[in-house]
Structure 1
Amino acid sequence: MTAQTQSNQLAPQVVVIGSGVGGGTVALKLARAGLRVLMLERGEALPNEPELNDAEAVFVQNRYRTQEQWQDDTGRRYRPGQYYFLGGHTKFYGTAMFRFRESDFAETRHEDAASPAWPVSYAELEPHYAEAEALFGVRGQAGVDPTEPPRQAGYDHAPVPHAPVIKRMAERLEAAGLHPFHMPAAVDFGPGGSCRLCGTCDAFGCRFGAKGDAETRIIRQLQTMPNVEIRTGVEVRRLIPDAQGQRIIAVEVHGNGRLERIEAPHFVLSAGAVNSALILLRSATEACPGGLANRSGVVGRYLMNHHLTGLMGVLPFETNDTAFPKTLSLNDFYHGLPGDAMARGNIQMLGNIKGPMIRATYPMTPKPLANWLGRHSVDWLVMSEDPPLVENGVRLLPDGTPEVTWHPADLKAHDRFVSHARKLLRQIGFPLVLRHSFGIDAPSHQCGTVRMGDDPATSALNSMCRAHDHPNLSVVDAGCFPSSAAVNPALTVAAQGLRVGAYLSRTLAAQAAA
């Protein structure tokens, strides 16, 4: 078991499980309020090594992907695209930091299903969105995106400028009557910044501390605080409730070859949507036979992951040498195509697709062809909301293997949106547009498995992410989402984490003073 920063002189007041965006933001608020915080992270710090920028190492060798096995409901086992490091999945994310739209918090009809309303409104989250943008160093431009929700102020930092190829695409989209805007990105770019435009950002680790990830922007602050202890290399197995199944009294962790029990007055679970649900299910007792926080039976259900399709716009006679392409996004179709309201979503840039990334997915592709496509393409991501279905979820098999079931609704509507996007790309200058669909094997936008709501009969958590069944347990990651919206989830997790952290700080400080 590895301990980082100073050990607390006294027992922790709060144990935070997970060091990603959710756990990090909550812990930062609690620590700033003077509470004693113990953070537990199953991974170690990501090593700063040349392989972080090597597509062959990252995608072909899967050097940083977990070794654990998951299973789908057909019995197929696979290594999921999970990354367990200090800072969570943000160590490999693409820096996208979108606010959800106002409409995303309301009940939304889809072609095959519906997304429920959230128990928290955009207006309640807005100040926390602003705080999260400042905390993560988000760069963007307000007032251009036609679907942008109300803001009290603009971004603190100007957007990352378009490279020449991307600028030309933006101009052509504008000429087509659309409203492309600078994608909000958490990257330390510009004069005095640490970004070196190395060309490997999205889905790679950053060797220069330029990516606005949870470790760089939060954990490093926590490591300087005497009231915070961070332990890495420890995996939380289960939470232990009292005999009545009401209060959580301890957490059981495995590290360095042994089990340890850690007690505290309050617990914050932020292990990611899949793993948070698994921990709650694994914590079943006689008093809580369905697992913790699961009187409603929703824990592990309603898994969402977005409909994600990559489009490779090929430029046969031009090499794309853009180092940081994730500067452009389009939301003109967020609320539907003309005449087709159900086909909708967000379009944004992908990081540069490189030859080894193509060969990792399509092994039969000749290496020269894969490398040529990587050099001659501009890569886009088409994203639609994945509505929640009760049958989609995660559970534990008898041998302890996680089984993930995901048969998403609204695929036909998403396909119509993708077809429209392909036509649009041909219109702005790409003679060939290839497509690839991303599935649950790479659950980078996983959410919904421990949903919040006002009714304890249909939700696990209240609007402050406190378990309806356990007054001293909070679950703060994308698992709390009632719906997935159609933009990246990281900023909304951070905003909710800051909101919950502020609330817990007030509540726990008052309890300690009483």
Structure 2
Amino acid sequence: MADDYDVIIVGSGAGGGTLAHRLAPSGRRVLILERGDWLPREPQNWDAAEVFVKNRYVSKDTWYDKDGKAFQPQIHYFVGGATKFYGAALYRLREQDFGELRHHGGISPAWPISYDDMAPYYAQAEELYQVHGIRGEDPSDPPGGPYPYPPVSHEPRIQKLFDDLARVGLHPFHSPNGIMLDESNPAFSACIRTATCDGFACLLHAKSDADVIAVRPALAHDNVTLVRNAEVRRLETDPSGGSIASVVADVDGAEQRFSGSIVVVSAGAVNSAKLLLSSASDTHPNGLANGSDQVGRNYVFHNSRAFLAISLEKNETRFQKTLGLNDWYLGDDDFEYPMGNVQMVGKSSAPMYRGEKPIAKLSPMFALNEMAEHAVDFWLSAEDLPDPGNRVTVGRSGEVTLSYTPNNREPLDQLYHRVKKHLSHLGMHPDHLIPRDIYMKNDIPVAGCAHQAGTVRFGDDPATSVLDTDCKAHELDNLYVVDTSFFPSIGAVNPALTAMANALRVGDHLLARLG
């Protein structure tokens, strides 16, 4: 195998995989180094007990919280990265998210680029990842042309919820979903009901993940190489310290070195920060690109809450993630601050309850199976704010500590109460009919790091950021980062589409740079 490339990409997820796809037709020699392997296509992909109880596909990594307590992060190392198990809800950030926003808990900083800068790449990412939706149905929708594919229709119980929400004066919309089938395809009914559910991989390869959409098509080009089971340990610079000379990785347990004109890191917000910090040297004693002491800081991952309501009628929905609600995204007359996004979670089942301790108090009226049959599952996301003290650090033995103190929690509570007050009008069991509150909730712990971002943020000022607006490190000539690490703030919608769009944007910059 040749060891000198035009571009080396560390990681094959939403950022790295999409970037490889953009670069592949150029003829430039591209190497993708992926820590994991191909995800096995096996019946267990769709087995709730295997996925949620046995954690069959979750990494065996151990991280530590701010108090030194060990935990297993809910991350996955496979070709395609976190997108193999994401819900494929592909939202654009709202136009206001790119500017400075005043929140109940402080300030969400402005980005160094505008929504208009990102808009054409959002459109390209939606086309590439085959996003289904209806533009403008959501009142908070940013400007843009129509989605490339029609929305995924609601199943009967979710359609009733949609109608009931509209009846009480709200504005539900069809969630933007990435899926590679349409409803005229005979395979649709067998596939869609599991293809994009949260937490599951798609056995049929019909979910728009970075593996199927980006990496495999990129590998059809002879100039693109994928090395699997390659854990990148450190980046070594030339003697001047001004550029990366070598990428050092353990490949199937043996150390190998790779060199390339450009190195792009896309390992996830925690692991990208870990890699830069672990690459400290005499010329970069605090870690690569860390003269500002910003690497690893400002970790964000959304203030999120999952809860379920009990429908009066059975909820036989298989794929529930077709509905969203953003009426309170930027606040309302009673709460002037942004609150966030409401969407549905993949339909719950009894094995999930047993596996993740989601319900501390069960109504005596419902056994687990009966509860699952009637459950309507909601997911709320509010913005947590960048805080330099919320950070990733690396110990002498390479152990990761993720120090995180929650902030800006009031908007999440406000959002929860606004949804809850409507539930009795939406065909759910009202409180007074049940001996205790049936609208149970479960806050997501720090281990639930699917939406991690912010640890290598970009900006105009090298004193307060790590990357410039092209996502190149201020301090190194050939180092870029294209996962969600670059986010200065996270907004309140799923970050995957923004990572994909930005990878396309950076890809165009790299193609111009390479000539």
TM over 0.5: yes
Partner of 2:8 in structure 1?
15
Match of 1:445 in 2: 451
Does the aligned pair in 2 maintain the 1:389–1:408 contact within 8 Å? no
C-alpha distance in 2, partners of 1:421/1:393?
32
Kindly report which structure 2 residues correspond to 1:93-242, keeping only aligned pairs within 5 A, or say none.
Answer: 93-151=86-144, 153-189=145-181, 190-192=183-185, 194-195=187-188, 196-197=190-191, 199-200=193-194, 201-242=197-238
Determine the C-alpha separation between the residues in 2 that align with 1:103 and 1:193. Answer: 40
Matching residue of 1:405: 403
> Aligned partner of 1:357: which letter?
M
Q: Indicate how the Cα distance of structure 1 residues 295 and 194 shifts in structure 2: closer, same or farther if over 3 A, else same.
A: farther
Match of 2:240 in 1: 244
2:466 aligned with 1:468: no
Equivalent position of 2:417 in the other structure: 419
RMSD: 1.6
**Contact 2:18–2:215 at 8 Å: present in 1 too?**
no
Deviation at 1:28, TM superposition (A): 1.6
Normalising by the residue count of structure 2, what TM-score does the alignment of the two structures yield? 0.94
Pairing partner for 2:28 from 26, 35, 46: 35
- Assess if the C-alpha contact under 8 Å between 2:340 and 2:411 holds in 1: no
CA distance in 1, matches of 2:391, 2:428: 38
Looking at structure 2, the residues matched to 507 and 299 of structure 1 have their Cα atoms a distance apart, in angstroms, of 25
Q: Secondary structure at the match of 1:230?
A: strand
1:434 maps to which of 437, 440, 443? 440
Percent of residue pairs bearing the same amino acid type:
42
CA distance in 1, matches of 2:492, 2:229: 34
Q: Deviations over 1:437-479 (max 9, x none)?
A: 1122110000000000000000000111000001101000100
The Cα shift of 1:81 comes to 0.1
Q: Deviations over 1:10-46 (max 9, x none)?
A: 8311100000010012112222222110000000000
Q: Deviations over 1:292-336 (max 9, x none)?
A: 111111100000000111120112x42211111111001110101
The match for 1:298 is: 294
- Counterpart amino acid of 2:397? D
Closer, same or farther in 2 for the Cα pair 1:438/1:28, shift >3 Å? same
SS of 1:310's partner is strand
Write the distance in 1 (CA, Å) between the matches of 2:265 and 2:186: 33
- Maintained 8 Å contact 2:125/2:501: yes
Given residue 427 of structure 2, which amino acid in structure 1 is its aligned partner?
G
Would the aligned equivalents of 1:194 and 1:210 in 2 still touch at CA under 8 Å?
Answer: no
- The structure 2 residue matched to 1:310, chosen from 301, 306, 310, is 306
**8 Å contact kept, 1:194–1:208:** no
Shift in Å, 1:371 = 2.4
SS in 1 for 2:249: strand
Q: 2:504 aligns to what?
A: 498
Query: Which moves more between the two structures, 26-35 or 368-377?
Result: 368-377
- For each residue in 1:341-387, what CA deviation from the matched residue of structure 2 results, as whole angstroms up to 9, or x when unmatched? 22511101110111111111228889982222221111011110111
C-alpha separation between the residues in 2 aligned to 1:476 and 1:261? Answer: 22
Distance 1:343 1:374 in 2: 32
| d(CA) in 2 for partners of 1:307, 1:337 | 19
Count matched residues. Answer: 500
Q: Secondary structure at the residue paired with 2:4?
A: coil
Question: Structure 2: where are the runs of 5+ without partners?
Answer: 430-437
| Greater shift in the superposed pair: 413-422 or 132-141 | 413-422
d(CA) in 1 for partners of 2:62 and 2:7? 31
Secondary structure of 2:51's partner? helix
1:193/1:210 contact within 8 Å kept: no
What is the DSSP-based 3-state SS (H/G/I as helix, E as strand, rest coil) of the residue aligned with 1:66? Answer: coil
- The answer to whether the Cα contact below 8 Å between 2:94 and 2:142 also exists between their aligned partners in 1 is yes
CA deviation after TM superposition for structure 1 residue 217, in Å: 0.4
Distance in 1 separating the partners of 2:411 and 2:159 = 30
Q: For 2:211, what is the secondary structure of its paired residue?
A: helix
Please give the alpha-carbon distance, in whole angstroms, between the structure 2 residues aligned to 1:257 and 1:333. 50
Query: 2:435 is matched with which residue?
Result: none
CA contact (8 A) 2:34 2:226 kept: yes
Structure 1: runs of 5+ lacking an equivalent: 1-6, 510-514
Match of 1:3 in 2: none
Offset at 1:199? 3.9
Q: Does 1:362 align with 2:357?
A: yes
- Equivalents in 2 of 1:324, 1:297: separation in Å? 44
C-alpha contact (below 8 Å) 1:346/1:486 kept by paired residues: yes
CA deviation map 1:261-283 (0-9, x unaligned)? 11111100000111000000000
CA contact under 8 A between 1:194 and 1:209: conserved in structure 2?
Answer: no
- Residue identity in the other structure for 2:270: V
Alpha-carbon contact 1:199-1:352 (below 8 Å) kept: no
In 2: Cα distance, 1:128 partner to 1:430 partner = 40
Question: Equivalent of 1:336, from 326, 331, 334?
Answer: 331
Q: Are residue 273 (structure 1) and residue 266 (structure 2) matched?
A: no
Q: Which range moves more in the overlay, 25-34 or 53-62? A: 25-34
Deviations 1:114-148 (A, max 9, x none): 11110111101111000000100100001211111
TM-score (normalizing by structure 1): 0.95
Match of 1:44 among 29, 33, 37: 37
Match of 1:16, SS state, is: strand
By how many angstroms is 1:193 displaced? Answer: 7.1
How many Å separate the matches in 2 of 1:457 and 1:342?
29
Query: Which whole-Å CA distance do the structure 2 matches of 1:193 and 1:23 have between them?
Result: 33
Aligned match of 1:512: none
- For 1:135 and 1:298, the matched residues in 2 are separated by 33
Cα 1:198–1:98 shift into 2, 3 Å: closer
- For the residue of structure 1 that corresponds to 2:439, the secondary structure is strand
Runs of 4+ in 1 over 6 A off after TM superposition: 363-368
1:375-407 deviations in whole A, cap 9, x for unaligned?
111101111011111100111122221100111
Deviates more, 1:420-429 or 1:499-508: 420-429
1: distance between equivalents of 2:412 and 2:322? Answer: 23
Question: Out of 325, 348, 355, which is 1:353 matched to?
Answer: 348
